[in-house]
């Protein structure tokens, strides 16, 4: 299998963490890929019409995207404890938590693009405030919920960890820890996992 990723992308990090947590990383050729919403990457465009990372090519099966689909596909390939619960209330809880984390990441990545890609004269303060509101609301929800996670590190928790890693990486000045002490304590623990350390964006 071949994975197009960028080390800065939190969505690609989700997939790379899942690959390592499931013991599948050895079988995946990771291709470090430069992506920009304003400069399409021709090689990636041949694999994924949305020209987005992560994208996973699976021999004999075609190409998979986005991160949620790739993560669930990888989870179907290993014999260990599933990262996506199979059915019932636990599955909906895990998928909802993944969606919460992905939504925070969508807002954070849009904020990042706004700051570094959009010309300064075209920036729109209300739009930026709207994204920040989603990030703040999402972090408060994670902070309230994390006490119930125990030592689980399934798809929802992996996504939450990618959110916090991305905020540290791109928005360190925002200090998400001070208003979210429970989340900060949870993150300090999971950040020590080998899968998290191996994929830490530099
Ligand atoms: C970033 O540089 O922050 C970034 C790169 C790729 C995808 C998303 C974010």
Among 6, 131, 168, 169, which is best to mutate for testing ligand 1, by the most ligand atoms less than 8 A from CB?
A: 6
pLDDT of residue 45: 95
Listed in order, strand segments (DSSP E) in 45-155 are 55-58, 62-64
End-to-end CA distance of the chain: 25
Whether the CB of 170 sits within 6 Å of ligand 1: yes
| Gap between the Cα atoms of 135 and 111, Å rounded | 10
Is residue 198 within 8 Å of 5, Cβ to Cβ?
A: no
pLDDT of residue 37: 87
Report the separation in Å between the CA atom of 104 and the middle of ligand 1, taken as the mean of its atom positions.
Answer: 14
Average pLDDT, the chain: 97
Instruction: Calculate mean pLDDT across residues 157-168.
Output: 98
Whether the CB of 136 sits within 6 Å of ligand 1: no
CB-side neighbour CA atoms (13 Å) of 51: 11
Write down the residue that tokens 């919403």 correspond to.
37
Q: Considering only CA atoms, which of 63, 10, 54, 65 is closest in space to residue 32?
A: 54
Set out the domains of the chain in order of their start, with CATH numbers. Answer: 2-75 (3.40.30.10), 88-193 (1.20.1050.10)
| Gap between the Cα atoms of 108 and 133, Å rounded | 11
| Gap between the Cα atoms of 72 and 133, Å rounded | 29
Report the separation in Å between the CA atom of 9 and the middle of ligand 1, taken as the mean of its atom positions.
Answer: 4
Q: Give the model's confidence band at 97: pLDDT under 50 very low, under 70 low, under 90 confident, else very high.
A: very high
Q: What percent of the chain has pLDDT over 70?
A: 100
Whether the CB of 95 sits within 6 Å of ligand 1: no
| Gap between the Cα atoms of 70 and 14, Å rounded | 10
Please write the tens of the pLDDT for every residue from 48-73: 999 999 999 999 999 999 999 999 99
Instruction: Extract the tokens encoding 183.
Output: 């989340």
Predicted TM-score of the model (pTM): 0.97
On the question of pLDDT at 160 being above 90, the answer is yes
């Amino acid at each position: 299998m071949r994975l197009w990723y960028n080390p800065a992308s939190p969505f690609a990090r989700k997939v790379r963490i899942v690959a390592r947590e499931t013991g599948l990383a050895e079988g995946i050729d990771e291709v470090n890929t430069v992506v920009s919403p304003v400069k399409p990457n021709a090689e990636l465009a041949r694999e994924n019409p949305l020209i987005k990372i992560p994208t996973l090519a699976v021999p004999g099966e075609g190409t998979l995207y986005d991160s949620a689909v790739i993560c669930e596909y990888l989870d179907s390939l290993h014999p260990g404890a599933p990262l996506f619960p199979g059915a019932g209330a636990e599955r909906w809880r895990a998928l909802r938590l993944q969606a919460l984390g992905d939504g925070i990441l969508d807002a954070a990545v849009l904020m990042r693009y706004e700051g570094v890609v959009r010309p300064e004269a075209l920036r729109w303060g209300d739009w930026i405030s709207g994204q920040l509101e989603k990030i703040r609301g999402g972090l408060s929800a994670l902070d309230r919920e994390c006490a119930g996670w125990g030592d689980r590190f399934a798809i929802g928790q992996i996504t939450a960890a990618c959110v916090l890693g991305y905020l540290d990486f791109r928005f360190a000045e925002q200090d998400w820890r001070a208003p979210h002490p429970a989340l900060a304590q949870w993150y300090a623990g999971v950040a020590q996992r080998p899968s998290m350390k191996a994929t830490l964006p530099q």
